[in-house]
Amino acid sequence: MLDLRFIRENPEFVKAALVKLNTTARIDEILAGDIERRELLSKVENLRAERNAVSKEIGRMQDAATRDQRIAAMRQVGEQIEGIEKRLAEVEINLQQRLLEVPNMPHPAVPVGQNDSENRIVRTVGEIPKFDFPIRPHWEIGEQLGIIDFERGTKLSGSRFYVLYGLGARLERALINWMLEVHIQQGYQEVWVPFMVKAESMVGTGNLPKFGENLYHDAEEDYWFIPTAEVPMTNLYRDEILEPGKLPIYHVAYTPCFRREKMSAGKDVRGIKRGHQFDKVEMVKFVEPQYGDQELSSLLDDAEEIARQLKLPYRIVEMCTGDLSFVAARKFDIEVWGAGSGEWLEVSSCSLFTDFQARRANIRYRPEPGARPEYVYTLNGSGLALPRVVISILENYQQPDGTVRIPDVLQPFMGVDKIGG
Protein backbone atom coordinates (compact mmCIF):
# COMPACT_ATOMS: atom_id res chain seq x y z
CA MET A 1 0.00 0.00 0.00
CA LEU A 2 1.21 3.46 -0.83
CA ASP A 3 1.15 6.34 1.61
CA LEU A 4 -2.10 8.21 1.01
CA ARG A 5 -0.29 11.46 1.64
CA PHE A 6 2.22 10.58 -1.08
CA ILE A 7 -0.60 10.05 -3.58
CA ARG A 8 -2.27 13.28 -2.50
CA GLU A 9 0.92 15.26 -2.97
CA ASN A 10 2.21 13.52 -6.12
CA PRO A 11 -0.80 12.36 -8.11
CA GLU A 12 0.81 12.94 -11.51
CA PHE A 13 3.93 11.02 -10.52
CA VAL A 14 1.80 8.07 -9.44
CA LYS A 15 -0.23 8.11 -12.63
CA ALA A 16 2.91 8.22 -14.75
CA ALA A 17 4.30 5.25 -12.83
CA LEU A 18 1.12 3.27 -13.47
CA VAL A 19 1.60 3.82 -17.20
CA LYS A 20 5.16 2.48 -16.96
CA LEU A 21 3.89 -0.50 -14.97
CA ASN A 22 1.40 -1.15 -17.73
CA THR A 23 -1.45 -1.25 -15.25
CA THR A 24 -4.24 0.91 -13.91
CA ALA A 25 -5.63 2.05 -10.57
CA ARG A 26 -8.37 4.46 -9.63
CA ILE A 27 -6.24 7.38 -8.52
CA ASP A 28 -8.84 10.07 -9.17
CA GLU A 29 -11.35 8.14 -7.10
CA ILE A 30 -8.77 7.97 -4.31
CA LEU A 31 -8.10 11.70 -4.46
CA ALA A 32 -11.81 12.51 -4.34
CA GLY A 33 -12.38 10.06 -1.49
CA ASP A 34 -9.48 11.56 0.42
CA ILE A 35 -10.93 15.05 0.18
CA GLU A 36 -14.39 13.94 1.21
CA ARG A 37 -13.00 11.90 4.04
CA ARG A 38 -11.08 14.79 5.49
CA GLU A 39 -14.07 17.11 5.23
CA LEU A 40 -16.35 14.64 6.99
CA LEU A 41 -13.70 13.89 9.57
CA SER A 42 -13.24 17.48 10.64
CA LYS A 43 -17.02 17.97 10.84
CA VAL A 44 -17.63 14.89 12.90
CA GLU A 45 -14.68 15.56 15.18
CA ASN A 46 -15.97 19.02 16.03
CA LEU A 47 -19.38 17.59 16.85
CA ARG A 48 -17.85 14.86 18.96
CA ALA A 49 -15.78 17.41 20.85
CA GLU A 50 -18.94 19.37 21.62
CA ARG A 51 -20.81 16.30 22.77
CA ASN A 52 -17.91 15.13 24.93
CA ALA A 53 -17.65 18.49 26.65
CA VAL A 54 -21.37 18.98 27.23
CA SER A 55 -21.88 15.39 28.37
CA LYS A 56 -19.24 15.98 30.99
CA GLU A 57 -21.08 19.11 32.14
CA ILE A 58 -24.35 17.20 32.31
CA GLY A 59 -22.78 14.82 34.76
CA ARG A 60 -22.05 17.65 37.17
CA MET A 61 -25.26 19.62 36.58
CA GLN A 62 -27.72 20.22 39.44
CA ASP A 63 -30.51 22.19 37.75
CA ALA A 64 -32.96 19.71 36.24
CA ALA A 65 -34.46 22.06 33.64
CA THR A 66 -31.21 23.11 31.93
CA ARG A 67 -30.01 19.57 32.29
CA ASP A 68 -32.94 18.20 30.32
CA GLN A 69 -32.49 20.94 27.79
CA ARG A 70 -28.83 19.99 27.25
CA ILE A 71 -29.66 16.34 26.98
CA ALA A 72 -32.18 17.12 24.27
CA ALA A 73 -29.63 19.27 22.43
CA MET A 74 -27.02 16.55 22.61
CA ARG A 75 -29.49 14.01 21.36
CA GLN A 76 -29.71 16.10 18.20
CA VAL A 77 -25.96 16.41 17.96
CA GLY A 78 -25.79 12.64 18.33
CA GLU A 79 -28.09 12.19 15.37
CA GLN A 80 -25.95 14.48 13.26
CA ILE A 81 -22.84 12.56 14.25
CA GLU A 82 -24.50 9.28 13.37
CA GLY A 83 -25.39 10.55 9.92
CA ILE A 84 -21.90 11.78 9.15
CA GLU A 85 -20.30 8.65 10.57
CA LYS A 86 -22.38 6.49 8.31
CA ARG A 87 -21.26 8.37 5.24
CA LEU A 88 -17.69 8.49 6.54
CA ALA A 89 -17.60 4.72 6.95
CA GLU A 90 -18.68 4.25 3.33
CA VAL A 91 -16.07 6.70 2.11
CA GLU A 92 -13.33 5.07 4.17
CA ILE A 93 -14.14 1.53 3.08
CA ASN A 94 -14.12 2.58 -0.54
CA LEU A 95 -10.91 4.55 -0.11
CA GLN A 96 -9.20 1.65 1.62
CA GLN A 97 -10.21 -0.78 -1.12
CA ARG A 98 -9.01 1.54 -3.88
CA LEU A 99 -5.75 2.06 -2.01
CA LEU A 100 -5.13 -1.69 -1.68
CA GLU A 101 -5.42 -1.97 -5.45
CA VAL A 102 -2.59 0.45 -6.17
CA PRO A 103 0.70 -1.33 -6.91
CA ASN A 104 4.07 -0.35 -5.50
CA MET A 105 6.04 2.36 -7.29
CA PRO A 106 9.02 1.06 -9.30
CA HIS A 107 12.54 1.81 -8.12
CA PRO A 108 14.17 4.52 -10.30
CA ALA A 109 16.74 2.01 -11.60
CA VAL A 110 14.13 -0.36 -13.03
CA PRO A 111 14.22 -0.50 -16.83
CA VAL A 112 11.02 0.70 -18.48
CA GLY A 113 9.32 -1.91 -20.64
CA GLN A 114 5.97 -3.32 -21.69
CA ASN A 115 6.33 -6.98 -20.75
CA ASP A 116 8.78 -9.80 -20.05
CA SER A 117 10.36 -9.47 -23.51
CA GLU A 118 11.97 -6.25 -22.30
CA ASN A 119 13.45 -7.66 -19.11
CA ARG A 120 17.17 -7.05 -18.78
CA ILE A 121 19.60 -9.95 -18.62
CA VAL A 122 22.10 -8.77 -16.04
CA ARG A 123 24.64 -11.58 -16.34
CA THR A 124 25.03 -15.22 -17.19
CA VAL A 125 27.20 -17.42 -15.00
CA GLY A 126 28.65 -20.84 -15.84
CA GLU A 127 28.97 -22.79 -19.07
CA ILE A 128 26.02 -24.44 -20.74
CA PRO A 129 27.10 -28.09 -20.81
CA LYS A 130 27.67 -29.90 -24.09
CA PHE A 131 26.74 -33.54 -24.44
CA ASP A 132 28.13 -36.13 -26.86
CA PHE A 133 25.15 -38.41 -26.38
CA PRO A 134 21.40 -37.94 -26.83
CA ILE A 135 20.15 -36.03 -23.80
CA ARG A 136 16.78 -36.60 -22.23
CA PRO A 137 14.28 -34.44 -20.36
CA HIS A 138 13.93 -34.96 -16.62
CA TRP A 139 10.60 -36.75 -16.81
CA GLU A 140 12.20 -39.53 -18.83
CA ILE A 141 15.25 -39.68 -16.60
CA GLY A 142 13.11 -39.68 -13.46
CA GLU A 143 10.80 -42.44 -14.63
CA GLN A 144 13.61 -44.57 -16.01
CA LEU A 145 15.53 -44.35 -12.72
CA GLY A 146 12.32 -45.10 -10.83
CA ILE A 147 12.53 -41.96 -8.73
CA ILE A 148 9.58 -39.97 -10.14
CA ASP A 149 6.10 -41.46 -10.53
CA PHE A 150 3.63 -39.26 -12.35
CA GLU A 151 0.87 -41.84 -12.75
CA ARG A 152 0.49 -42.56 -9.09
CA GLY A 153 0.73 -38.88 -8.25
CA THR A 154 -2.22 -38.29 -10.53
CA LYS A 155 -4.06 -41.24 -9.00
CA LEU A 156 -3.62 -39.75 -5.55
CA SER A 157 -4.28 -36.08 -6.23
CA GLY A 158 -4.93 -35.37 -9.89
CA SER A 159 -2.90 -33.72 -12.60
CA ARG A 160 0.28 -31.84 -11.71
CA PHE A 161 1.04 -34.08 -8.75
CA TYR A 162 3.77 -36.68 -8.56
CA VAL A 163 5.51 -39.03 -6.17
CA LEU A 164 9.23 -39.28 -5.49
CA TYR A 165 10.89 -42.55 -4.48
CA GLY A 166 14.20 -43.53 -3.01
CA LEU A 167 17.06 -41.31 -4.03
CA GLY A 168 14.60 -38.95 -5.72
CA ALA A 169 12.86 -38.31 -2.41
CA ARG A 170 16.23 -38.16 -0.75
CA LEU A 171 17.50 -35.61 -3.26
CA GLU A 172 14.54 -33.39 -2.40
CA ARG A 173 15.26 -33.66 1.32
CA ALA A 174 19.01 -33.22 0.82
CA LEU A 175 18.45 -30.01 -1.13
CA ILE A 176 16.18 -28.60 1.57
CA ASN A 177 18.66 -29.39 4.33
CA TRP A 178 21.69 -28.19 2.44
CA MET A 179 20.05 -24.94 1.31
CA LEU A 180 18.98 -24.16 4.86
CA GLU A 181 22.52 -24.80 6.06
CA VAL A 182 24.00 -22.44 3.47
CA HIS A 183 21.62 -19.63 4.37
CA ILE A 184 22.07 -20.11 8.10
CA GLN A 185 25.82 -19.73 7.48
CA GLN A 186 25.05 -16.50 5.62
CA GLY A 187 23.40 -15.11 8.75
CA TYR A 188 19.74 -16.02 8.40
CA GLN A 189 17.82 -17.34 11.38
CA GLU A 190 15.86 -20.47 10.56
CA VAL A 191 12.15 -20.37 11.36
CA TRP A 192 9.40 -22.92 11.07
CA VAL A 193 5.99 -21.44 10.35
CA PRO A 194 2.36 -22.44 9.81
CA PHE A 195 1.46 -23.47 6.27
CA MET A 196 -2.05 -22.03 6.60
CA VAL A 197 -2.75 -18.43 7.53
CA LYS A 198 -5.65 -16.07 8.12
CA ALA A 199 -6.88 -13.79 5.34
CA GLU A 200 -5.43 -10.83 7.21
CA SER A 201 -1.94 -12.21 6.71
CA MET A 202 -2.54 -12.60 2.98
CA VAL A 203 -3.57 -8.95 2.82
CA GLY A 204 -0.38 -7.98 4.63
CA THR A 205 1.86 -9.42 1.94
CA GLY A 206 -0.35 -8.28 -0.92
CA ASN A 207 -1.76 -11.67 -2.00
CA LEU A 208 -5.25 -10.54 -1.08
CA PRO A 209 -7.55 -8.98 -2.06
CA LYS A 210 -6.25 -8.92 -5.63
CA PHE A 211 -4.84 -12.41 -6.18
CA GLY A 212 -7.15 -14.71 -4.29
CA GLU A 213 -7.84 -16.81 -7.38
CA ASN A 214 -4.28 -18.19 -7.17
CA LEU A 215 -4.71 -19.42 -3.60
CA TYR A 216 -6.24 -22.48 -2.00
CA HIS A 217 -8.38 -21.92 1.03
CA ASP A 218 -10.61 -23.80 3.38
CA ALA A 219 -14.26 -23.32 2.53
CA GLU A 220 -15.52 -23.30 6.11
CA GLU A 221 -12.83 -21.58 8.10
CA ASP A 222 -10.61 -18.61 7.52
CA TYR A 223 -7.58 -20.68 6.51
CA TRP A 224 -5.54 -19.90 3.40
CA PHE A 225 -2.75 -22.19 2.20
CA ILE A 226 0.50 -20.30 1.74
CA PRO A 227 1.78 -19.87 -1.83
CA THR A 228 5.22 -19.09 -0.38
CA ALA A 229 6.91 -18.87 3.03
CA GLU A 230 7.14 -15.15 2.42
CA VAL A 231 3.56 -14.84 3.69
CA PRO A 232 3.96 -16.26 7.20
CA MET A 233 7.51 -14.95 7.60
CA THR A 234 6.67 -11.37 6.65
CA ASN A 235 3.56 -11.43 8.84
CA LEU A 236 5.58 -12.55 11.85
CA TYR A 237 5.99 -8.91 12.77
CA ARG A 238 2.58 -7.66 11.65
CA ASP A 239 1.21 -4.93 13.93
CA GLU A 240 4.50 -4.68 15.81
CA ILE A 241 6.93 -1.90 16.57
CA LEU A 242 10.50 -3.22 16.52
CA GLU A 243 12.64 -1.51 19.15
CA PRO A 244 16.02 0.06 18.29
CA GLY A 245 18.74 -2.49 17.63
CA LYS A 246 16.41 -5.23 16.36
CA LEU A 247 17.06 -4.51 12.69
CA PRO A 248 18.14 -5.94 10.41
CA ILE A 249 16.24 -9.23 10.82
CA TYR A 250 17.06 -12.08 8.42
CA HIS A 251 14.94 -15.23 8.37
CA VAL A 252 14.99 -18.38 6.29
CA ALA A 253 12.36 -21.12 6.20
CA TYR A 254 11.55 -24.26 4.35
CA THR A 255 7.87 -24.71 3.52
CA PRO A 256 5.75 -26.41 0.94
CA CYS A 257 3.96 -23.90 -1.31
CA PHE A 258 0.44 -24.26 -2.67
CA ARG A 259 -0.73 -22.56 -5.88
CA ARG A 260 -3.82 -22.98 -7.94
CA GLU A 261 -2.04 -22.15 -11.20
CA LYS A 262 -5.40 -22.13 -12.89
CA MET A 263 -4.32 -19.34 -15.21
CA SER A 264 -1.76 -21.59 -16.81
CA ALA A 265 -3.75 -24.76 -17.36
CA GLY A 266 -2.33 -26.57 -20.36
CA LYS A 267 1.07 -24.94 -20.03
CA ASP A 268 4.12 -26.70 -18.61
CA VAL A 269 2.09 -29.84 -18.05
CA ARG A 270 4.95 -32.25 -18.53
CA GLY A 271 7.27 -33.08 -15.71
CA ILE A 272 7.65 -31.40 -12.37
CA LYS A 273 8.16 -27.84 -13.53
CA ARG A 274 4.83 -26.45 -12.42
CA GLY A 275 2.81 -28.18 -9.72
CA HIS A 276 0.06 -27.22 -7.31
CA GLN A 277 2.39 -28.11 -4.46
CA PHE A 278 6.13 -27.65 -4.34
CA ASP A 279 8.93 -27.19 -1.85
CA LYS A 280 10.87 -24.00 -1.42
CA VAL A 281 13.46 -22.48 0.86
CA GLU A 282 12.78 -18.81 1.27
CA MET A 283 14.57 -15.83 2.80
CA VAL A 284 13.06 -12.62 4.09
CA LYS A 285 14.68 -9.48 5.43
CA PHE A 286 13.41 -6.60 7.53
CA VAL A 287 15.72 -3.61 7.22
CA GLU A 288 15.96 0.13 7.72
CA PRO A 289 15.01 2.08 4.58
CA GLN A 290 18.46 3.48 3.86
CA TYR A 291 19.86 -0.04 3.39
CA GLY A 292 17.21 -1.21 0.92
CA ASP A 293 19.41 -1.25 -2.17
CA GLN A 294 22.44 -2.93 -0.64
CA GLU A 295 20.25 -5.49 1.13
CA LEU A 296 18.68 -6.40 -2.20
CA SER A 297 22.02 -7.06 -3.85
CA SER A 298 23.29 -9.11 -0.91
CA LEU A 299 20.03 -11.07 -0.89
CA LEU A 300 20.46 -11.84 -4.57
CA ASP A 301 24.04 -12.90 -3.93
CA ASP A 302 22.92 -15.19 -1.08
CA ALA A 303 20.40 -16.87 -3.38
CA GLU A 304 22.88 -17.15 -6.26
CA GLU A 305 25.27 -18.95 -3.95
CA ILE A 306 23.03 -22.02 -4.19
CA ALA A 307 23.26 -22.17 -7.97
CA ARG A 308 27.00 -21.46 -7.85
CA GLN A 309 27.74 -24.26 -5.41
CA LEU A 310 25.56 -26.71 -7.31
CA LYS A 311 27.53 -25.67 -10.40
CA LEU A 312 24.38 -25.09 -12.39
CA PRO A 313 24.58 -22.58 -15.26
CA TYR A 314 22.33 -19.66 -14.41
CA ARG A 315 21.49 -16.14 -15.36
CA ILE A 316 20.16 -13.09 -13.56
CA VAL A 317 17.25 -11.23 -15.11
CA GLU A 318 15.98 -7.88 -13.94
CA MET A 319 12.25 -7.32 -14.39
CA CYS A 320 11.24 -4.32 -16.43
CA THR A 321 8.41 -2.09 -15.21
CA GLY A 322 5.78 -3.98 -17.21
CA ASP A 323 6.74 -7.32 -15.64
CA LEU A 324 7.19 -6.16 -12.06
CA SER A 325 4.93 -7.84 -9.52
CA PHE A 326 2.25 -5.87 -7.72
CA VAL A 327 4.21 -5.43 -4.50
CA ALA A 328 7.80 -5.18 -5.76
CA ALA A 329 9.73 -1.96 -6.33
CA ARG A 330 12.56 -3.91 -7.90
CA LYS A 331 12.96 -7.58 -8.72
CA PHE A 332 15.65 -9.92 -9.99
CA ASP A 333 14.99 -13.49 -11.09
CA ILE A 334 17.49 -16.30 -11.05
CA GLU A 335 17.05 -18.79 -13.88
CA VAL A 336 18.95 -22.07 -14.09
CA TRP A 337 19.59 -23.98 -17.26
CA GLY A 338 17.52 -27.03 -18.01
CA ALA A 339 19.56 -29.01 -20.51
CA GLY A 340 16.88 -31.53 -21.37
CA SER A 341 14.25 -29.03 -22.41
CA GLY A 342 16.81 -26.43 -23.47
CA GLU A 343 15.26 -23.60 -21.51
CA TRP A 344 15.99 -21.30 -18.59
CA LEU A 345 14.01 -22.21 -15.48
CA GLU A 346 13.00 -19.56 -12.98
CA VAL A 347 14.07 -20.74 -9.55
CA SER A 348 14.11 -17.53 -7.55
CA SER A 349 12.72 -14.04 -7.35
CA CYS A 350 14.57 -11.56 -5.18
CA SER A 351 12.51 -8.46 -4.50
CA LEU A 352 12.67 -5.19 -2.67
CA PHE A 353 9.23 -4.15 -1.46
CA THR A 354 10.30 -0.86 0.15
CA ASP A 355 7.65 0.04 2.75
CA PHE A 356 4.77 -1.29 0.63
CA GLN A 357 4.20 -4.52 2.55
CA ALA A 358 5.15 -2.93 5.84
CA ARG A 359 2.41 -0.35 5.49
CA ARG A 360 -0.17 -3.03 4.66
CA ALA A 361 0.99 -5.27 7.46
CA ASN A 362 1.75 -2.39 9.84
CA ILE A 363 5.34 -3.40 10.55
CA ARG A 364 7.31 -0.55 12.07
CA TYR A 365 10.58 0.09 13.89
CA ARG A 366 11.84 2.79 16.19
CA PRO A 367 14.97 4.40 14.69
CA GLU A 368 16.14 5.75 18.06
CA PRO A 369 14.92 5.21 21.62
CA GLY A 370 11.84 7.37 22.10
CA ALA A 371 11.63 8.28 18.41
CA ARG A 372 8.46 8.01 16.33
CA PRO A 373 7.96 4.62 14.68
CA GLU A 374 8.68 4.31 10.94
CA TYR A 375 7.79 1.60 8.46
CA VAL A 376 10.49 -0.99 7.81
CA TYR A 377 11.58 -2.11 4.35
CA THR A 378 10.91 -5.76 3.56
CA LEU A 379 12.69 -7.97 1.04
CA ASN A 380 12.45 -11.59 0.09
CA GLY A 381 14.05 -14.10 -2.18
CA SER A 382 13.75 -17.79 -2.88
CA GLY A 383 16.81 -19.76 -2.10
CA LEU A 384 15.71 -21.77 -4.10
CA ALA A 385 12.51 -23.33 -5.44
CA LEU A 386 13.08 -27.07 -5.35
CA PRO A 387 11.45 -28.84 -8.31
CA ARG A 388 13.22 -26.79 -10.94
CA VAL A 389 16.54 -27.23 -9.21
CA VAL A 390 15.86 -30.97 -9.31
CA ILE A 391 15.08 -30.66 -13.04
CA SER A 392 18.32 -28.80 -13.63
CA ILE A 393 20.37 -31.34 -11.68
CA LEU A 394 18.81 -34.34 -13.40
CA GLU A 395 19.20 -32.84 -16.85
CA ASN A 396 22.63 -31.21 -16.52
CA TYR A 397 24.23 -34.02 -14.55
CA GLN A 398 22.89 -36.89 -16.67
CA GLN A 399 25.49 -39.40 -17.85
CA PRO A 400 25.73 -41.51 -21.04
CA ASP A 401 24.98 -44.68 -19.03
CA GLY A 402 21.64 -43.29 -17.85
CA THR A 403 22.81 -42.44 -14.33
CA VAL A 404 22.81 -38.97 -12.78
CA ARG A 405 25.84 -37.69 -10.94
CA ILE A 406 25.20 -35.91 -7.61
CA PRO A 407 26.69 -32.41 -7.26
CA ASP A 408 29.66 -32.46 -4.87
CA VAL A 409 28.07 -30.28 -2.18
CA LEU A 410 25.07 -32.61 -1.93
CA GLN A 411 26.98 -35.87 -1.66
CA PRO A 412 27.37 -35.65 2.14
CA PHE A 413 23.60 -35.21 2.38
CA MET A 414 22.85 -38.00 -0.11
CA GLY A 415 25.34 -40.60 1.00
CA VAL A 416 25.97 -41.51 -2.65
CA ASP A 417 27.65 -39.85 -5.62
CA LYS A 418 25.16 -40.88 -8.29
CA ILE A 419 21.61 -42.05 -8.86
CA GLY A 420 21.18 -45.29 -10.78
CA GLY A 421 23.67 -47.78 -12.13
**Catalytic machinery residues:** 259, 274, 346, 349, 388
* Interaction between residue 48 and RNA (CB under 7 A): yes
| The one among 78, 248, 289, 367 contacting RNA by CB under 7 A | 78
Report the nearest approach of RNA to the CB of residue 49 (Å). 4
| The one among 16, 35, 53, 269 contacting RNA by CB under 7 A | 53
Residue length, the chain?
421
Report the nearest approach of RNA to the CB of residue 318 (Å). 33
Interface segment toward RNA; rule CB under 7 A; list 10-18, 49-57, 123-131, 135-143 = 49-57
Q: Which is nearer to RNA, 26 or 67 (CB)?
A: 67
- Cα–Cα dist 390/303, whole Å: 16
* Interaction between residue 60 and RNA (CB under 7 A): yes
Residue 307 near residue 336, CB atoms below 8 Å: yes
Interface segment toward RNA; rule CB under 7 A; list 55-63, 99-107, 109-117, 295-303 = 55-63
Site string for RNA, 83-122 (x = CB under 7 A): ------x---------------------------------
Report the nearest approach of RNA to the CB of residue 78 (Å). 4
Residues 357-396 close enough to bind RNA by CB under 7 A = 364, 372-373
Site string for RNA, 225-244 (x = CB under 7 A): ----------------x---
Residue 340 near residue 273, CB atoms below 8 Å: no
Report the nearest approach of RNA to the CB of residue 225 (Å). 17
* Interaction between residue 35 and RNA (CB under 7 A): no
| The one among 27, 58, 191, 199 contacting RNA by CB under 7 A | 58
Report the nearest approach of RNA to the CB of residue 220 (Å). 10
Counting other chains too, the contacts that 358-362 makes at CB distance below 8 Å and 24 or more residues apart are 359/1, 359/2, 359/3, 360/1, 360/100, 360/203, 360/204, 360/205, 360/206, 361/201, 361/203, 361/204, 361/205, 361/234, 361/235, 361/237, 361/238, 361/239, 362/204, 362/238, 362/239, 362/240
Residue 9 Cα to chain centre, angstroms: 28
Interface segment toward RNA; rule CB under 7 A; list 46-54, 136-144, 166-174, 376-384 = 46-54
**For residues 352-383, b (16+ Cβ closer than 10 Å) or e, as one string?**
bbbbbbbbbbebbbbeeeeeeeebbbbbbbbb
Binding region for RNA (CB under 7 A): 5, 41, 45-46, 48-49, 51-56, 58-60, 71, 74-75, 77-78, 89, 241, 364, 372-373
